[in-house]
């Protein structure tokens, strides 16, 4: 097989790696460990397109490079296999989601394997396997049976809390969560509580707890959706309306870890943008909680949290979230209809839409008034959807002179905007949030500075029992339940209406079989259809399942020890692997998966179950590969037929598509006579064809080039922007009789645009097609060659052929003219050694800084240099194989074996040693100048002294040729740079 045939080589080595478990990692090794992880995929039915493998290729290069450096590398792969798409397909077809999921996974495994990834497939996990989600349920039970002790700043078992209750009651216990939700009792009262009362008292301390929560409810899908799954008030999947609804939901108390999640970011080697997104999402702020009494009520009061308590005298109205618990009580009869209408409209908007919409001003007056606690002035109480029930207290004190959103609201509804600082300016135009100057119109803080005013007001409010200083977070507790079937069952059962965790020995709680996958007719989640699904045959189970992020919050730990039946991961394996050294995945997971995984890890750390401080030490966000779309251009011809009285909408009209450059010439008024004849001919062909097919005469009227619209066409039937017309006719039935007006050379040229890859845009390129044509190694190199890993890059299939040519050129260093192996043991020349060691040094630097595109360029330059030198020497080519092996592993394995090494051993070789002496130049070329103007150049030994160089220059004919008969006054030698003769 002298010629390079990737289709044979790649299948051969993929089979070898699989048969010999080449990449299987060991949990015990004298080598240093390195853990490389990809964010595992959800296996959709569409399979992979060429944009998906970008991060996988990059992580595989690092994996193979680290093996060459002597590391014991863990590089696993698995599948996030629970999820809504499979469930929706099950609802539509009646097919169990497990069948769809397994079929999709097999497609993914086949595609991933065809790309030559060095995964340890013996560690594959699937979140939908009961053997895996047993431990997801186990972690949930640990959360259910734990509380967060603010004194020790860590999670502890509930048994420690109940022991304190028995000893001294609830007094003095500082726990994460809302104190208002908790009972106050003595030790004696605790002892008198029955089982139900004790569990009720404990529930509000749990890290996994149930309470009424506002959620995104989608009636069309019959489930709660995350904010990420809602866009413009509609479900991302299916486009069903979504509304905000108060429902009993399971929550995880991630807020207990808010400070630690913030602090930990400083220790991580993550992109600054991702860390900043998490910081903003957690949103730590220092301020005050203030109580506004409600006018006319002895009990009702509104609590607000503010970071600018210094502005309280400027609070001229209160704004509540439409979902606020006091709305019904506060609304006066004359405002009832308006309030109800506004609340109904708000329910149709997601939290994300409400937060993002900063331009629309909307609200409704409740008819009620609050009292400003510092001056007892009445303030109107309004509802507005920019206030969220789940953030802070669900109410804000509006200070229109200092906050632009409050300013716009006050301006819109004609509410007062008093100045509160002598430094505020232009309040007739906009708010001024300055902290400069001194306060005016502000009672007890008149004349004070910002810092003085803040301290005095907090002290005053605390003294009067009307407020307190407080640290607040934007982060909310995580809604954990989903009203779906295809997810992990929550291991909870109910006894007399009280939630109990099932015994750990009864795990896993396996997903039961049901006859339909949609909610029941009475509105229960799909699990309500399960027959006789009871804990120990008597207690009903929780009918919600866990969200998709549950299984992905700890999967990296299971990879360390995937078959352990006694523990979620053994202590030995966890301590050996520690945490993930390199995590590759998308930045879109910054405030979802990445935050939840850190939360779960910190919780497991509190329980002494993991040994590091964070799960993922280094994170890289690969950029997106954008699709290159192609377009056809429909020629807009006004037609009439012999059946003129027929409804025009029922008359089919000829389809005529015009080549893009031809259309552009007509639009610019630069068409030629030949162009006009092409269009006339195309219309004539369409007229004759369609008249015959539809048994009526078509009469072409006016032609409107300006209104010729573009339509996406499948990029897989376009080559270098030239449409395969016959393939197009087969692609869509309505194209069968279409007329394609081509360029004078007979080619139809499509339009192009760079867009996100999407099936709807017909710009998805299947990697299987490219692998069959060019090989996996070419695809791997090309994806890396497109540009810096973290950046967005446009895809162009036309470019991959150049990489394929490079690999053939590399092959011919070993097989000149595609003949037999012709590697010699001759001694390499200095030029050959220099080319090799430049490559050794730079390839190492490039991979270590994840600059893979420059590595590919380097390989191309090096191969060109060695080809020009006609180098076929083992001492040069053997190390070069190792350099290229992380990028083109199949070709490297083949050549490595041909060079006499054990089959499949390129991964266990050692990275070539860089020797700097081979880069030292023997000679240096010096520019020679007269009075600073370069005239010539001379070559000297690299070790030549300045005196030796001066003597040689003066002894040459340089001065005679360029000195215009003048003698040298001075010779300046800049070592290694240049020589200047002053005359």
What residues form the annotated binding site for ATP?
A: 759
CA distance 462 to 460: 6
Intra-chain end-to-end CA distance of the chain, in Å: 67
CA distance 583 to 63: 12
Q: 146: closest CA among 161, 165, 164?
A: 161
CA distance 917 to 646: 88
Residues 6+ apart with CB under 8 A from 186: 168, 169, 171
CA distance 493 to 527: 13
Q: 478: closest CA among 546, 525, 385?
A: 546
Tokens describing residue 733: 């039935």
Residue 459: helix, strand or coil by DSSP?
A: helix
CA distance 456 to 443: 12
Tokens describing residue 754: 């760079």
Tokens describing residue 374: 């510092």
Helix axes 158-168, 195-203, angle to 10 degrees: 110
Q: 366: closest CA among 314, 317, 418?
A: 317
Residue 651: helix, strand or coil by DSSP?
A: coil
Residue 741: helix, strand or coil by DSSP?
A: strand
CB-based burial of residue 830 (10 Å sphere; 0-12 exposed, 13-18 middle, 19+ buried)?
A: exposed
* Count, residues in the chain: 983
Tokens describing residue 393: 């207290």
CA distance 630 to 783: 20
Residue 559: helix, strand or coil by DSSP?
A: coil
Residues 6+ apart with CB under 8 A from 226: 216, 479, 547, 592
Q: Which residues pair with 396 in a beta bridge?
A: 319
CA distance 435 to 415: 23
Tokens describing residue 797: 């299939």
Q: Binding-site residues, please? A: 759
CA distance 58 to 781: 10
Residue 108: helix, strand or coil by DSSP?
A: helix
Name the DSSP letter for residue 395.
Answer: E
- Contact present, 121 and 60 (Cβ < 8 Å): no
- Contact present, 214 and 389 (Cβ < 8 Å): yes
E strands, 96-166, are 146-149, 154-157
**What does 423-446 look like in DSSP terms, one character per residue?**
T---TTTS------S-B-S-GGGT
Q: 138: closest CA among 508, 671, 623, 598?
A: 508
Residue 947: helix, strand or coil by DSSP?
A: helix
CA distance 889 to 391: 52
CA distance 779 to 770: 7
- Contact present, 457 and 373 (Cβ < 8 Å): no
Backbone angles phi, psi at 338, to 5 degrees: -65, -40
CA distance 877 to 88: 54
Cα distances from 937 to residues 896, 910, 943, 959, in angstroms, run 45, 43, 17, 12
């Amino acid at each position: 097989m002298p010629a390079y045939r990737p289709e044979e080589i790649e299948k051969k080595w993929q089979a070898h790696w699989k048969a010999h478990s080449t990449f299987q990692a060991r949990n015990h090794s004298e080598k240093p460990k390195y853990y490389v992880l990809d964010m595992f995929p959800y296996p959709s039915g569409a399979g992979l397109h060429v944009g998906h493998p970008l991060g996988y290729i990059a992580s595989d290069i690092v994996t193979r490079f680290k093996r060459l450096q002597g590391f014991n590398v863990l590089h696993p792969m698995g599948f996030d296999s629970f999820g809504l798409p499979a469930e929706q397909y099950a609802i539509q077809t009646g097919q169990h989601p497990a069948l769809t999921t397994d079929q999709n996974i097999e497609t993914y495994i086949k595609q991933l394997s065809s790309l030559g990834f060095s995964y340890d497939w013996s560690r594959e996990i699937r979140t939908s396997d009961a053997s895996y989600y047993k431990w997801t349920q186990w972690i949930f039970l640990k959360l259910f049976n734990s509380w967060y002790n603010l004194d020790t700043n860590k999670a502890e078992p509930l048994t420690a809390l109940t022991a304190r209750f028995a000893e001294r009651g609830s007094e003095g216990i500082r726990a994460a969560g809302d104190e208002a939700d908790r009972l106050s009792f003595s030790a004696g009262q605790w002892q008198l509580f029955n089982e139900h009362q004790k569990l009720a008292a404990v529930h509000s301390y749990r890290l996994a707890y149930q309470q009424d929560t506002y959620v995104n409810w989608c009636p069309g899908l019959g489930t709660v959706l995350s904010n990420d799954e809602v866009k413009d008030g509609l479900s991302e999947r299916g486009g069903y309306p979504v509304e905000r609804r108060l429902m009993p939901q399971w929550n995880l108390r991630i807020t207990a870890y808010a400070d630690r999640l913030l602090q930990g970011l400083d220790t991580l080697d993550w992109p600054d943008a991702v860390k900043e997104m998490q910081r903003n999402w957690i949103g730590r702020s220092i301020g005050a909680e203030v109580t506004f009494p409600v006018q006319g009520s002895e009990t009702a009061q509104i609590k607000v949290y503010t970071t600018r308590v210094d502005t309280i005298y400027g609070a001229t109205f209160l704004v509540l979230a439409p979902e606020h618990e006091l709305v019904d009580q506060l609304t006066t009869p004359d405002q009832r209809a308006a309030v109800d209408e506004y609340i109904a409209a708000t329910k149709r908007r997601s939290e994300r839409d409400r937060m993002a919409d900063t331009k629309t001003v909307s609200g409704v007056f409740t008819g009620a008034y609050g009292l400003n606690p510092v001056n007892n002035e009445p303030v109107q109480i309004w509802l507005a959807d920019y206030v969220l029930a789940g953030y802070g207290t669900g109410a804000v004190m509006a200070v229109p002179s200092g906050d632009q959103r409050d300013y716009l609201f006050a301006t819109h509804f004609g509410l007062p905007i008093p100045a509160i600082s002598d430094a505020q300016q232009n309040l007739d135009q906009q708010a001024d949030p300055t902290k400069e100057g001194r306060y005016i119109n502000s009672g007890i803080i008149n004349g004070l500075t910002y810092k003085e005013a803040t301290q005095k007001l907090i002290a005053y409010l605390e003294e009067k029992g009307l407020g307190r200083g407080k640290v607040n977070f934007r982060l909310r507790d995580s809604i954990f339940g989903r009203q779906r079937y295809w997810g992990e069952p929550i291991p909870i059962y109910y006894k007399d209406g009280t939630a109990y965790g099932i015994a750990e020995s009864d795990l896993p709680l396996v997903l039961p079989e049901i006859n339909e996958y949609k909610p029941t007719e009475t509105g229960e989640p799909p699990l309500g259809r399960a027959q006789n699904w009871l804990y120990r045959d008597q207690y009903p189970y929780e009918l919600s399942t866990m969200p998709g992020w549950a299984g992905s919050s700890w999967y990296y730990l299971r990879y360390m020890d995937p078959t352990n039946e006694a523990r979620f991961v053994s202590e030995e394996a966890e301590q050996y692997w520690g945490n993930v050294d390199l995590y590759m995945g998308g930045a879109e997971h910054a405030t979802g998966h990445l935050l939840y995984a850190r939360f779960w890890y910190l919780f497991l750390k509190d329980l002494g179950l993991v040994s590091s401080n964070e799960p993922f030490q280094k994170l890289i966000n690969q950029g997106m590969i954008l699709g290159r779309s192609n377009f056809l251009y429909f020629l807009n011809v006004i037609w009439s037929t012999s059946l003129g009285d027929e409804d025009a909408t029922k008359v089919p009209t000829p389809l005529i598509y015009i080549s893009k450059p031809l259309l552009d010439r007509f639009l610019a008024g630069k068409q030629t006579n030949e162009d006009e004849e092409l269009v006339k001919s195309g219309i004539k062909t369409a007229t004759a064809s369609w008249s015959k097919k539809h048994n009526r005469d078509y009469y072409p009227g006016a032609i409107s080039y300006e209104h010729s619209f573009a339509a996406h066409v499948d990029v897989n039937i376009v080559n270098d922007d030239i449409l395969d017309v016959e393939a197009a006719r087969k692609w869509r039935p309505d194209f069968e009789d279409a007329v394609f007006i081509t360029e004078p050379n007979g080619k139809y040229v499509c339009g192009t645009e760079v867009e996100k890859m999407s099936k709807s845009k017909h710009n998805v390129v299947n990697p299987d097609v490219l692998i069959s044509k060019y090989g996996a190694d070419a695809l791997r190199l090309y994806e890396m060659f497109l540009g810096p890993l973290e950046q967005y890059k446009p895809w162009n299939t036309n470019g991959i052929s150049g990489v394929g040519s490079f690999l053939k050129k590399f092959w011919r260093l070993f097989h000149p003219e595609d003949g037999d192996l012709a590697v010699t043991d001759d001694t390499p020349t200095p030029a050959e050694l220099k080319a090799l060691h430049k490559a050794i040094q730079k390839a190492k630097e490039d991979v270590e800084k994840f600059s893979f595109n420059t590595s590919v360029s380097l390989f191309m330059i090096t191969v060109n240099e060695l080809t020009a030198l006609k180098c076929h020497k083992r001492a040069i080519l053997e190390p070069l194989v190792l350099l290229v092996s992380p990028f083109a592993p199949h070709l490297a394995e083949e050549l490595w074996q041909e060079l006499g090494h054990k089959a499949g051993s390129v991964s266990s070789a050692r990275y070539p040693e860089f020797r700097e002496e081979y880069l030292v130049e023997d000679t240096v070329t010096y520019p020679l100048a007269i009075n600073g103007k370069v005239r010539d150049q001379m070559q000297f030994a690299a070790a030549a002294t300045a005196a030796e160089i001066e003597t040689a220059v003066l002894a040459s004919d340089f001065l005679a040729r360029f000195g215009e008969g003048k003698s040298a006054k001075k010779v300046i030698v800049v070592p290694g740079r240049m020589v200047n003769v002053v005359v």
